Structure 1
Amino acid sequence: MNELGKISSLPITRFTAHGAYLNMSNGNEVLLPQGYLTGDEKEGEEVAVFVYTDSEDRPVAITDRPVALVDEFAIMEVKEVTPFGAFMDWGLPKDLFVPKSEMGKPMTPGDHCLVMICVDYKTNRLIGVSKYQDFMLNDTSEFEEGQEVEALVFDSTDLGYKVLIDQHYEGLLYANETFKEIEVGDEVTAYIKKRREDGKLDVQLTPVGRQKYEEGAEKILNLLKVKRFLPLHDKSSPEEIKKTLGMSKKHFKQSIGQLYKSRKIEIKADGIELAD
């Protein structure tokens, strides 16, 4: 069943009291239940559907879309844990089952975990797999220092936050370089800081090099255009600067240095203000 776990456009072959039957690539039919029909559909018309299996392991088509498709990762909430595995909320009426043998670590209800959707070829059902390391690639040669990437935060450690990049690369965002609240499930724009020998990537939230301070200077300048004055200076605590601007003290000092050299601000003993 090529359509399993995917979004497919399938033609309607006939209608019944239970819904519409759609033709699949293998010649079999799959039911699109009545609740997913608008009433305007016609025989022969193609409908974009997601195909999975119902509680009795029969193929069924729906027009809802889950948080991820087959062979894709997503953060999912644990709904229930049994001796055999866990059931995850993936945005559909039937929860996704993660067998105990496919768990990377024990789960408890309410946890948010990184899960890949896979086909269990023994049962021809969709299952979840949280052993994410099995799907990671170690060749990071395609990435360059400073490159902008989209990253999915999927776990926290003593060092910082684990992130997923391009579905197949693991990165680390260090806590002492993060100046805003981060939670599992957040999607953030990050920048490659370093390619490590173990195949993982170190990333940061601010651009690498000069661009970082140019963006910091622009942020401070835009805030000064509204407030005219900011009570931040060399003696301000890192916590105060982080709370006000979301940046480190080093970043702040280098950014205002740029603004001062270009005569856009004046530096006072008790803060900075917009230059006339």
Structure 2
Amino acid sequence: MIEIGKMQHLTIDRQTSVGLYLTAGDSEDKKKDSVLLPQKEVPKNCKVGDEVEVFVYRDSQDRLIATTRKPKIMLGEFAPLRVVDITKVGAFLDWGLEKDLLLPYHEQITKVQKGREYLVNLYIDKSNRLCATMKVYPLLKSQSPYKDGDWVEGYIYQINPELGGFVAVDNAYHGMILKKEMTTDFHCGDKIKARVTEIRKDGKLVLSPNKKAYKEIPKDALLILDKLKKNGGMLPYNDKTNPSIISKEFKMSKSSFKRALGKLMKEKKIKQTANGIELIGK
């Protein structure tokens, strides 16, 4: 049986001027259950009866077609793919084949931008066509092999302003960066490296994109000191400042900012006032 969306070995049934017609070894009606491998992709020195490894999908005329090229994503898999065009029917993604992959509007969970990459899953729609979806949450697993303190990699596939960033760890497991750890630098589609700070009862991972607190403070404290010096020793921000403003001005979370302030005040390098913070002995 010829399967759409997968690499498979098919047998050369006949050779024509337009290319090779391939069939599955168990096909009963070979002429009916066959797929064309275009002439421009026909391997050298092949003959009827040989096997060829191909990927099967649908061309721009919605006909089954074979290619010897391996796409960037297979049926059921996850992969970050770049948006190359946006049309009335949806966005089109570069997946390494001649015909770009459709990401329908109803399968998008955020407004996508041309040129950016987004994590998607490959599925077959009701018309038996291969399409991409950004709705990967129900497809991810909860029980990962990771433990508290481990570093992991993954893609941010959704951002909820009230909750935080949802991450597909290893493109397989549920992960989340809490709202307090998010900054304006994070975008849907970003690849991140993060530390596991908690494993919830349901097995999902809580992540922090920062190092452990005691390792963060020196870098964050130096950044604040540098800004103070460049602004005449005073800044209109303190531990009461809105987190979104802290994120915009310092590119760090509110909790990181407060830890850095605490260290600097303990070392008597700054003081906090109702109007902001000041260098001591400026």
Counterpart of 2:54? 49
Residue type of the partner of 2:74? L
Give the superposition deviation at 1:42: 2.1
Change beyond 3 A, Cα 1:91–1:204 = same
Aligned residue runs from structure 1 range 1-276, under 5 A: 3-24=3-24, 27=27, 28-120=33-125, 122-137=126-141, 139-140=142-143, 142-147=145-150, 149-154=152-157, 162-172=166-176, 191-196=195-200, 200-203=204-207
In structure 1, distance between residues paired with 2:198 and 2:103: 33
Whichever residue aligns with residue 56 of structure 1, its letter is Q
Check conservation: 1:2, 1:25, Cα contact below 8 A. Answer: no
- 8 Å CA contact 1:67–1:74 kept in 2: the answer is yes
Counterpart-to-counterpart distance in 1, 2:97 and 2:47:
26
What are the superposed Cα offsets for residues 176-208 of structure 1, whole Å, 9 maximum, x if unpaired? 989xx9887676665533223576423357898
- Taking structure 1 as the reference length, the TM-score comes to 0.63
Task: Give the TM-score normalised by the residue count of structure 2.
Answer: 0.62
Q: CA deviation at 1:149?
A: 4.3
Task: Give the RMSD, CA atoms, in angstroms.
Answer: 4.0
Pick closer, same or farther for the CA change 1:68–1:189 going to 2, 3 Å: same
Which stretches in structure 2 are left out of the alignment for 5+ residues?
Answer: 28-32, 227-255, 260-282
Could you list the runs of 5+ residues in structure 1 that have no partner in the other structure?
A: 214-231, 241-247, 251-276
- Aligned CA distance change for structure 1 residues 75 and 172 (closer, same or farther; 3 Å): same
Deviations 1:60-118 (A, max 9, x none): 11011111101111112222223322211211110111222222122232332221110
Quick one: which amino acid aligns to residue 24 of structure 1?
Answer: A
Match of 2:229 in 1: none
Q: d(CA) in 2 for partners of 1:238 and 1:2?
A: 61
Does the CA-based 8 Å contact 2:9-2:51 persist in structure 1?
yes
Matches of 2:70 and 2:169, distance apart in 1: 22
Contact kept, 8 Å, 1:79 with 1:89, in 2: the verdict is yes
Equivalents in 2 of 1:49, 1:67: separation in Å? 14
How many residue pairs get aligned? The number is 224
